[in-house]
Amino acid sequence: MAAKQPLSDVEDGLLAHLNANAEIPDSRSFASSLGVPHKDVEDVIKRLTAFRIVEMQDITKETWVLTDEAKGYAARGSPEVQLVAAIPPEGASKGALKERLGDVFDIGMKAAAKNKWIGFEKGNKDLVLRKVEDTRDELQEQLRRLENGEVIADKVIDDLKRRKLVTKEKSIWYSLKKGPEFVAKRKTLATDVTREHLKSGDWKDLEFKDYNYGAQGQPIAIGYSQPLLEVREAIQNIFLEMGFSEMPTNMYVESSFWNFDALFQPQQHPARDSHDTFFLKAPATTTQLPDDYLEKVKQVHQSGGHGSKGYGYDWKRDEAEKNLLRTHTTAVSTRMLYKLAQEKTFAPKRYYSIDRVFRNEAVDRTHLAEFHQIEGLICDYGLTLGDLIGVLEDFFSRLGMSKLRFKPAYNPYTEPSMEIFSYHDGLKKWVEIGNSGMFRPEMLLPMGLPEGVNVIAWGLSLERPTMILYGIDNIRDLFGPKVDFNLIKSSPICRLGL
């Protein structure tokens, strides 16, 4: 086949032919007369038909085409003739012939024996002898005729079919005539006015392509917001609208004291085990703990006070000094409350934080060893569980979760404590969305907060609501080293809910 011609040449050739001859009865022979693949002519026909420059009619025919095996025989001869041609006058061993002919050997032997073109000497079945001088290669002739599109007798076709040398194929080609918009040569429409057009004056005669106002713009190759950041910002705005101020959360490394002891979490509590918490090797301990407050924490653990019996065990400073990666942002809330208790006069506060926490967890579809926690707290005189429920309903309804249920729970640092559930309309079930409670007097009074001041607080992960809002079911697609960039790029700006 000739070198590839541009489609515009094929188009010019086709229009010139139609202009001179009024019709093209068979696009397939037209393609071979141009020396181009029928596919190219077909592309041009479809394009011209769309502009009504030509009119086409399908011609569908079932034809017999050669299989790959048959194409080989058409080019190199049938197996039986190849075999006979390979036998010298003195004969040849089967092994030698097989080596020369490869795959063709077995088929050639069978067909040649049937035609009685070969034979064997008595007693030597290995030496193949040639019985004929000249062999006409009828098979090759038939295959070549078929390849050229000639008509072949049905009997021959049946024979070829049996030998699996032909298969039936449906082919479509076209007959063409001039359409209502026929032109002998199509003008190429200009898409832009160029400097050259202006200089040469061509612009006066050019025809311009219409603008396609319906075309979509290119996707813009800019940065995309991480869903976690989007949801974080939305939640941050909710806190700000509700009059909360942000706590400083820039300490990933905490001492056990602020993460556990100050929260009245006993030293033998299972969460303080290395199976649950990442402890630091260096520096393994802290030297900076407020001594007088530490003494009060020790007292309340060992023997209670403020109406509590305490835990009644031997509290160890060593254990409190151990450094760890904070397991919850409640460590930050604790530091803030302590700071607040050191002020001369108490003033009510609303605080929030959103930042990273770490837990020694087995990673799976819903758990990572580091994630983000959202925490809110209010401290004031005389707060009740009713206040907590009211604030939670306000907060979560702003997040699009207005059906809430509460379940009694246990935290060492809150009493009462409640798990928070929300009804998910999409999932059609109640899902746990957070944890909450009123900080215990054993936590607040040793800090020095005035009697009668209560703290209501709640915490939840940032990942959970983000996954719900974006319909993501594997946390590893959202956060961590295996984040799915396509998911980040294609996630909608407007979400259900918030």
Which residues are CB-neighbours of 297 under 8 A, at least 6 positions away?
257, 261, 262, 315, 320, 446
Least CB distance to ligand PHE at residue 405 (A): 17
The window from 64-72, 74-82, 191-199, 431-439 that contacts ligand PHE (CB under 6 A) reads 431-439
Cis peptide before 283 (omega within 30 of 0): yes
Nearest to 437 by CA among 333, 307, 319: 333
Write the CA distances from 36 to 2, 29, 30, 41, integer angstroms. Answer: 7, 10, 9, 8
Binding of residue 91 to ligand PHE (CB under 6 A) = no
Q: Which is nearer to ligand PHE, 176 or 455 (CB)?
A: 455
d(CA 86, CA 101): 8
Compute the distance between CA of residue 85 and CA of residue 73 in angstroms, rounded to an integer. Answer: 14
227 binds ligand PHE (CB under 6 A): no
Nearer residue to ligand PHE within complex by CB, 139 or 325: 325
Nearest residue (beta carbon) to ligand PHE: 459
Distance (Å, whole) CA 476 – CA 487: 12
Q: Give the integer Cα–Cα distance in Å for 298 and 486.
A: 52
Of the residues 27, 140, 256, 411, which one makes contact with ligand PHE according to CB under 6 A: 411
Of 124-132, 188-196, 288-296, 429-437: span binding ligand PHE (CB under 6 A): 429-437
Q: Which stretch binds ligand PHE (CB under 6 A): 223-231, 267-275, 385-393, 457-465?
A: 457-465
One of 140, 265, 330, 454 touching ligand PHE (CB under 6 A):
330
Residues in contact with ligand PHE, counted by CB under 6 A, come to a total of: 11
476 φ, ψ (degrees, to nearest 5): -70, -20
Say whether residue 437 binds ligand PHE (CB under 6 A): yes
How far apart are CB 303 and ligand PHE at their closest, in Å?
25
If one asks whether residue 140 binds ligand PHE (CB under 6 A), the answer comes out as no
Residue number, 435 or 491, with CB nearest to ligand PHE = 435
Nearest to 455 by CA among 370, 344, 337: 337
Is 375 a residue that touches ligand PHE (CB under 6 A)?
yes
| Segment lying near ligand PHE (by CB under 6 A), choices 57-65, 217-225, 301-309, 430-438 | 430-438
In contact, 459 and 374? CB cutoff 8 Å: yes
Q: How far apart are CA 498 and CA 493, in angstroms?
A: 10
Q: Whole-number minimum distance, CB 375 to ligand PHE, in Å?
A: 5
> Phi/psi of residue 236, each to 5°?
-55, -45
Per DSSP, what are the bridge partners of residue 436?
418, 458
d(CA 353, CA 245): 8
Residue range at the interface with ligand PHE (CB under 6 A); choices 37-45, 81-89, 267-275, 435-443: 435-443
**Does residue 249 interact with ligand PHE by CB under 6 A?**
no
Provide, rounded to whole angstroms, the least separation between the CB of residue 366 and ligand PHE.
Answer: 15
Is residue 37 reached through a cis peptide bond, with omega within 30 degrees of 0 on the bond before it?
A: no
Residue of 336, 457, 468, 469 interacting with ligand PHE (CB under 6 A)? 457
**Which lies closer to ligand PHE via its Cβ, residue 11 or residue 375?**
375
Cα four-point dihedral sign 84, 89, 92, 96: negative
Separation in Å, CA 81 to CA 104, 139, 155? 10, 9, 21
Confirm or reject binding of residue 261 to ligand PHE (CB under 6 A): no
Is 328 a binding residue for ligand PHE by CB under 6 A? The answer is yes
Residues found near ligand PHE in the complex (CB under 6 A): 328, 330, 375, 411, 414, 435-437, 457-459
